[in-house]
Amino acid sequence: MKKYFLISIIALCAVFFANPVSAQMDTHWEVQWNISVPTGEFEDFINESSVRGIEFGGTYHFETGVTLGGAFGYAAFFKKTGRMTIDYQNNTVTAVHFRDMFSYFIMAQGGYAYQTDFPVSPYARLGIGAYYTEMLTQVGLLYWRDENWNFGLRPEVGALIEIPNSGVGFVVNAKYNTLFNYSDNYDNLSYWAFGVGFIFGF
Amino acid sequence: MKKSMKRILLPVVLFAMAGIILSACSKYPTYTVNTEDLDMVWTEYDQSVNFAEFKTYYVPDTLLLDSTMSAEDKAYIQEYYENILEEINSNLSALNYTRVDSSANPDMGLVISIITQTNYVYSYSYWWYYPPYWGYPGYGYSYPWATYMGSYEEGALIFDLADLRNIDHQNKNINGIWSALCGGILTNSASTQISKRLLNGIDQAFVQSPYLGTE
């Protein structure tokens, strides 16, 4: 899975350090706070949304509206259950469960931003990259820790809102993260991330 | 105009970004952990055993304590032993098992132990002692059916039932057939609370083991 991480790094470097001559570009940088919501099988493990998420990114805007960029960030999920009884083969355990999941990602992104006469630019983009996750489970005093590298996809829609003549603005978006072949227990691990943040550098 | 706007907005944006980063990056959980939250009751049994075939059990008078435990800790824990023993006997009695003396050929042997050291477990079988309690000194004590679960931290009450009807005299081995672990119960210094948590843990061990009983 580390190869996906390397591919993502290379893709990011290619985007940021390339010197295209065929199109005039405009660049912006982003810092986002993400509120994340587990879905699918992941929701069975942690069914609480998370306010612990941060993301940094940069995007080139071509004249055609096509965008290329990259992002890296972090999301953390936490869940404390009530006392529950679980059967496992010939074992039965009654305890409170503490479930934590930390997701770190780095990805290349490509998409399209609709340019209008207004300071609002709706956009859609797709991120492809690597996710490193750390899943911690504590049952009473028993403790398990799993680490994984996964390839992931992240479609995203949102809007860039520029404060006129300021060079700064805001971004709001919705992103759906999917980590493929996550582990023996999960086929795919997925969660929504709803981001709000600042953009600058226009 | 554009330059003055930038001069005002950029510090504001940078300050706000710093706030976002600081609050969103924390790895500390958003939940709180109380001492009682770490209490755990874990039972495991030999699925090939029919517990209805057993009618009597013997329990020694002494409590097995972790050999690394300090004299002070041993004295501290020993004072709970009567309550522990009474609660376990009460539960076994409710399941129609009869407590007998070692000379009465008991069907099962009950051993109660408390450990305080951190340990890794294969199941929660513990290999650092063997109990010569049931009149078979030198015999080993094993759980061939146990499965790996994880590790536990300090502070656990363990009580086990062993099969004294089918002792492997050739290999000098006695099989454990049921085990219960109440973990985390020694993590609070308030004695009344420990006692309550201990007794609740013991009761829960029997509640979650419906296969026990003579019927």
| Domains in chain B with CATH codes | 34-207 (3.30.160.670)
**Tally of domains within chain A:** 1
Q: Do A52 and B10 touch (CB under 8 A)?
A: no
Q: Determine, yes or no, domain membership for A42.
A: yes
Q: Determine, yes or no, domain membership for A95.
A: no
How far from the centroid of its chain's Cα atoms is residue A144's Cα? Answer: 24
Q: Determine, yes or no, domain membership for A93.
A: no
Q: Do A78 and B44 touch (CB under 8 A)?
A: no
Q: Which of B10, B40, B156 faces A139 most closely, judged by CB atoms?
A: B40
The verdict on A124 touching B (C-beta cutoff 8 Å) is: no
Tokens in use for A2? 């580390």
CB-defined contacts A:B, below 8 A: 130
Nearest-neighbour CA in chain A from B103: distance (Å): 32
The verdict on A82 touching B (C-beta cutoff 8 Å) is: no
How far apart CA B141 and CA B65 sit, in angstroms, is: 17
**Chain B interface, mutation test: which of A166, A194, A196, most B Cβ atoms within 10 Å?**
A166
Q: Determine, yes or no, domain membership for A186.
A: yes
Span A168-191, pLDDT tens digits: 899 999 999 999 877 777 778 899
Q: Which of B5, B26, B149 faces A142 most closely, judged by CB atoms?
A: B149
Q: Which of B24, B38, B44 faces A53 most closely, judged by CB atoms?
A: B24
User: Is residue A128 very low, low, confident or very high in pLDDT (cuts 50, 70, 90)?
Assistant: very high
Which chain B residues touch A198 with a CB distance below 8 Å? 13, 16-17
Q: Closest Cα partner for A167 from B3, B11, B19?
A: B3
Q: Determine, yes or no, domain membership for A6.
A: yes
Q: Give me the interface pTM, i.e. the ipTM.
A: 0.74
Q: Do B38 and A100 touch (CB under 8 A)?
A: no
Which chain A residues touch B155 with a CB distance below 8 Å? 141
Taking a C-beta distance cutoff of 8 angstroms, is the pair B89, B99 a contact?
A: yes
Q: Do B1 and A165 touch (CB under 8 A)?
A: yes
Tokens in use for B186? 């020694």
Per residue of chain B (215 residues), give pLDDT as tens: 456 666 776 777 777 777 777 777 777 777 888 877 888 898 989 999 999 999 999 987 766 666 666 777 667 667 777 788 889 999 999 999 999 988 889 999 998 877 765 443 433 333 333 344 445 555 555 555 444 444 444 567 888 899 999 888 888 788 889 999 887 666 555 555 566 788 889 999 999 999 999 87
Q: Closest Cα partner for B159 from B1, B37, B43?
A: B43
A172 burial type by CB count under 10 A (0-12 exposed, 13-18 middle, 19+ buried): middle
Tokens in use for B83? 């309550």
Exposure of A185 in the CB half-sphere (CA atoms within 13 A): 9
Q: Determine, yes or no, domain membership for A94.
A: no
pLDDT at residue A4 tops 90: no
The whole-model pTM stands at 0.73
Residue A30's CB is within 10 A of a number of other CB atoms, namely 24
The verdict on A196 touching B (C-beta cutoff 8 Å) is: no
Taking a C-beta distance cutoff of 8 angstroms, is the pair B144, B176 a contact?
A: no
How far apart CA B109 and CA B178 sit, in angstroms, is: 10
Query: What is the domain extent for residue A154?
Result: 2-16+25-79+103-133+148-200
Q: Do B10 and A200 touch (CB under 8 A)?
A: yes
Q: Determine, yes or no, domain membership for A189.
A: yes
Instruction: Say what angle helices B81-94 and B191-207 make with each other, to 10 degrees.
Output: 20
Q: Determine, yes or no, domain membership for A89.
A: no
CATH number at residue A10: 2.40.160.20
